[in-house]
């Protein structure tokens, strides 16, 4: 799929600018991938922090009230 997308993106580029066009496409793909991974990491960290507090609060209540 990616070779087809690269070919479609490069179709309108002048022959003398193919190297620059290819470099730009690769740069944008890498930036998009890195920012996507970063956003997913931030989202997962936020969710883990939120659920971690809920689990800690529930286990504290359970151990406090169980008489142990």
Contacts of 10 (CB under 8 A, 6+ apart): 18, 21, 22, 25
Confidence of residue 38 (pLDDT cuts 50, 70, 90): very high
Tell me which residue has tokens 């507090």: 53
Q: Are 25 and 8 within 8 A, CB to CB? A: no
Confidence of residue 67 (pLDDT cuts 50, 70, 90): low
Q: What is the pLDDT of residues 5-16, one digit of tens each?
A: 888 888 999 999
**Structure pTM?**
0.63
Rounded CA separation 22/68 (Å): 66
């Amino acid at each position: 799929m990616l070779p087809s997308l690269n070919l479609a993106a490069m179709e309108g580029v002048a022959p003398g600018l193919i190297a620059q066009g290819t470099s730009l496409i690769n740069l944008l793909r890498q930036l998009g991938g890195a920012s996507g991974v970063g956003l997913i990491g931030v989202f997962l960290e936020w969710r883990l922090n939120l659920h971690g507090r809920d689990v800690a609060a529930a286990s504290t209540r359970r151990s406090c009230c169980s008489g142990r």
